Structure 1
Amino acid sequence: MKKKIAFTLLSGLLMLFSCSKDSEVTPSGSNATIDKSGNRLSTGASARDLLSNADYDKLLIEIDYVTGFAPTAEAIANFEEFLLARTFKQTIEFKYTSLASPNEETLTLEEIVDLETENRDEFNDGTTLAIHLYFADAPADSDNDEEGLVTLGAVYRNTSMVIYESTVQQMGNNSSAVTVSDVETATLLHEFGHLFGLVNLSTTSVNEHEDPDAENHCNVEGCLMRAELQFGTSLLKQMESRASKGLASIPDFDAECLLDLQKYGGR
Structure 2
Amino acid sequence: MGKFKLIMFLVLSAFIFSCSKNNTEPDVVIDKTLNLKSAGDSANDILSNDTYDKIQIEIAYVTGFRPTVTAISDFTDFLKLHTYKENIEFIYKELDSPNEENLTLQEIADLETENRTVYSSGSTLAVYIYFSDAPSEDDVEDEGLVTLGAVYRNTSMIIHEGTIRKLASQSLAVSNADVEAATLNHEFGHLFGLVNLGTEALSDHEDVDAENHCNVDGCLMRAELQFTLSGKSSLDLKNGSYAKGQNPACVLSGSTVMSLLQPSKTARTVEVPGLDAACVEDIQANGGR
Shift of 1:173: 1.8
Aligned residue pairs total 239
Counterpart check, 1:72 vs 2:94: no
Following TM superposition, by how much is the alpha carbon of 1:200 offset from its aligned partner in structure 2, in angstroms? 0.7
Q: Kindly provide the amino acid, as one letter, of the partner of residue 160 in structure 2.
A: Y
Single out whichever of 194-203 and 139-148 deviates more from structure 2.
139-148
* C-alpha contact (below 8 Å) 2:37/2:154 kept by paired residues: yes
Corresponding residue for residue 263 of structure 2: 241
| Paired position in structure 2 for 1:7 | none
Task: Read off the aligned partner of 1:240 and give its amino acid letter.
Answer: Q
Name which one, 1 or 2, has greater alpha-carbon Rg: 2
CA RMSD of aligned residues (A): 1.8
**Within-5 A mapping of 1:1-267:** 31-230=27-226, 234-242=256-264, 244-245=266-267, 248-267=270-289
Judge which range, 242-251 or 137-146, deviates more: 242-251
- Cα displacement (A) at 1:230: 4.6
Distance 1:140 1:95 in 2: 25
User: Contact (CA 8 Å) 1:223, 1:253: kept in 2 or not?
Assistant: yes
Amino acid at match of 2:277: A
User: Which whole-Å CA distance do the structure 2 matches of 1:37 and 1:229 have between them?
Assistant: 35
Give unmatched runs, 5+ long, in structure 2. Answer: 1-25, 229-254
Q: Is the 1:83–1:89 Cα contact (8 Å) retained in structure 2?
A: yes
Task: Report the AA paired with residue 51 of structure 1.
Answer: L
CA distance in structure 1 between the partners assigned to 2:28 and 2:181 by the alignment: 37
- Give 1:60 shift: 0.2
Measured in 2, the distance between the counterparts of 1:77 and 1:257 equals 22
Asked whether the 8 Å contact 2:34–2:120 carries over to 1, the reply is: yes
- The match for 2:20 is none
Unmatched 5+ stretches in structure 1: 1-29
Instruction: Report if aligned partners of 2:192, 2:199 keep a CA contact under 8 Å in 1.
Output: no
* Offset, 1:177: 0.4
Paired AA for residue 190 in structure 1 = H
Task: Supply the distance in 2 between the matched residues of 1:112 and 1:74 (Cα, whole angstroms).
Answer: 25
Deviation at 1:148, TM superposition (A): 2.0
**2-structure distance, mates of 1:240, 1:117:** 37
Do the aligned partners of residues 221 and 49 (structure 1) sit closer, same or farther apart at CA in structure 2, a change above 3 Å counting? Answer: same
SS at match of 2:55: strand
SS in 2 for 1:49: helix
Post-superposition offset of 1:142:
1.7
